[in-house]
Structure 1
Amino acid sequence: MNRITAVRSPIRWEDVGFPNRPLFGDITIVTGTPGWSWSQQSPDLPIAVLDDVPAGEVVPGWGVDHVVVTTANLELTVARLTEVGADLRRRTEVKCTPTAFLVCGTLVEVIEASPMDVHLYGVALETDEDLDEVANRWREAGWNAGKPHDAMQSGRRIFSVPDSNLAVMSCRQ
């Protein structure tokens, strides 16, 4: 199965207690402008493709819940993702916004956000750690971490770090 293997994000991971190149589940995250790497073929989308990303350092108790892509053209973006093997699981509206969910190893949430071009918007991590403690750790490191609150998924909590386009969620139960 073709899957996302790496994501580039503007976060300096060591500032919040992680290795420089953390491996969250099966996705390595590196620091820099947004981009991604795929195990086989990258979709024909205007998102930077990362070449030769070294293996990351495993972070126990952490994973990638989903990757968020924004686009002005939901249909085209979904088509490009399915062309490289992503499995479309659901189309819906989230807060009145057309949204699609695809699986390619991890979940990809595609949000129609006119007039934006296709953009790798962010990453939602999941952890089995206490979210209040995690959010405090981010704040102590100087990040604008929100207060954990109930997520849309029943039984889960989430907080966002708006300056980094990152969210952290409790693990699925």
Structure 2
Amino acid sequence: MVMKFGYVRARTKKEINSFYEQVKPDELFVDLANAFGESEGLQLAKMLKTATANDTIVFRGFSQLADSTEELSKLLSTLLTIDAKLTILDEEDGGLLMNDLSLKVVDYIYRFEAAKEKAVFARETKTGRKAMEYPTNFYDVYKDYASGSIKAAKAIELLGLKNRAKFYELVRMFEA
């Protein structure tokens, strides 16, 4: 039998009743939140174990689901595994904010953030000298130099470099 579940993190009975009246779920799962809106998520875990394929799960908003994009991504992948339909309401006006079609966007955002953080970490923790930067016109000058149209001396002049060693170092780095 297909069910409609509702999940809410709430501090007051008024919040719970408001959500219930808006959603009218077959079964309501409530985690009581602390002063910061956090909870242990025990009822959320219970609901995820109860839900089956084609059930509909309604949440009040993203802040109800997780405290980070990593947690949100894990929860959404769990929901996709269950094959339940997910509806997220806008916390401001109670209207529909998100449905199944846009869940992959959230997962992409998490992966994007993780990749960016990894790149920033790698850049900040690199030891030694900073990597050499290519002059802005390096690629165009390099193409001419590699084809034999211009000599190294002319390439060095066009790039505004002060010595040949720097030019050849850039070429080696580029060709590596």
Q: After TM superposition, is the score higher than 0.5?
A: no
Larger Rg: 2
Between 1 and 2, higher relative CO (CA 8 Å, sep ≥ 6) is seen in: 1
Answer 1 or 2: which has greater strand percent: 1
Query: Which range, TM-score by smaller chain?
Result: under 0.3
* Structure with greater proportional helix content: 2
Report the TM-score when normalising by structure 1. Answer: 0.28
- Please give the TM-score of this superposition, normalised by the length of structure 2: 0.27
